Amino acid sequence: METLTKGAFIAALNRMITTFDEQMEALSRMDAAIGDGDHGISMARGFHSVAERLRAVADRDIGTIVEMVGSSLTGVIGGATGPVFGALFTELASQAKGREALDVADLAEAFRRALDAIQAIGQAKVGDKTMVDALAPMVAALERAAGEGVGMDKALEMALRAAEEGRRSTAQMKATKGRARYLGEKSIGHEDPGAASFVLIVRALLEGFRAERNG
């Protein structure tokens, strides 16, 4: 069975570190349109901290590695993003504790838990124009993939497509959570930066999986 191995996770994290560095300005510009323009800087700062701490835990299990990512993001990023994206990885970590590989059903369960935790923290529902609009359909896609018994590559591709569609759907929404809510109607027409960041994370997972599989 195709699994997401520890090597794939580390490859994915390295991609996230590079991507959030490269996309820093683009993400901050998206945030400037509807928020305070710091989202790219916050994510880049968070993943710089991940980069600094990765080597120290690279020989541990997936749970320990992903737990470090969660605590780095929560610790370094303030505002709304720290607790939200921190919880994403902290919940994945609890599913991956002691594990060297995860299958599609594990991933579906882990991201479901992450969605529940993020909604408990921030009270955002689908339609509020946040990263939840990308995460919720991605979880549904993973659950569908697990139910259909498809392989990891297909499952992650379904997950990425659902997250991208969710990100695009935020353009039509009026923000009611986070700083963007102060703009009300004026937030319509712009995609949500947090949803865009979540898509980058899912894409990195797929790319990390493929890089590891292809050696």
192 binds Mg ion (CB under 5 A): no
Which is closer to ligand ADP, CB of 40 or CB of 208?
Answer: 40
Which of ligand ADP, Mg ion, none lies near 122, with the C-beta cut-off 5 to 8 A by kind?
A: ligand ADP
CB of residue 102 to Mg ion, shortest distance in Å: 31
Q: Which residue is nearest to Mg ion (CB)?
A: 35
Of 2, 3, 30, give the one whose Cα is nearest residue 180.
30
Q: Letter for the amino acid at 164?
A: E
* Host H or E run for residue 74: helix 62-76
State the nearest-atom distance from the C-beta of 66 to ligand ADP, in Å. Answer: 19
d(CA 14, CA 191): 26
Which residue has its beta carbon closest to ligand ADP? 194
DSSP assignments along 98-145, one per residue: T-SEE-HHHHHHHHHHHHHHHHHHH---TTSSSTHHHHHHHHHHHHHH
Task: Select from Mg ion, ligand ADP, none the partner in contact with residue 177, using the beta carbon and a kind-dependent cut-off of 5 to 8 Å.
Answer: ligand ADP
Does the footprint of Mg ion cover residue 208 (CB under 5 A)?
Answer: no
Choose from Mg ion, ligand ADP, none: what does 68 bind? Cβ within 5-8 Å by kind. Answer: none
Q: Are 212 and 7 in contact (CB under 8 A)?
A: yes
The CA–CA distances, whole Å, from 204 to 4, 47, 107, 164, 181 equal 12, 13, 15, 13, 29
Residue 38 interacts with Mg ion (CB under 5 A)?
A: yes
20 contacts 50 by C-beta, under 8 angstroms: no
Residues in contact with ligand ADP by CB under 6 A are: 31, 35-36, 38-39, 42, 79-81, 84, 118, 122-124, 130-132, 177-179, 192-195
194 binds, among ligand ADP, Mg ion, none (CB under 5 to 8 A by kind): ligand ADP
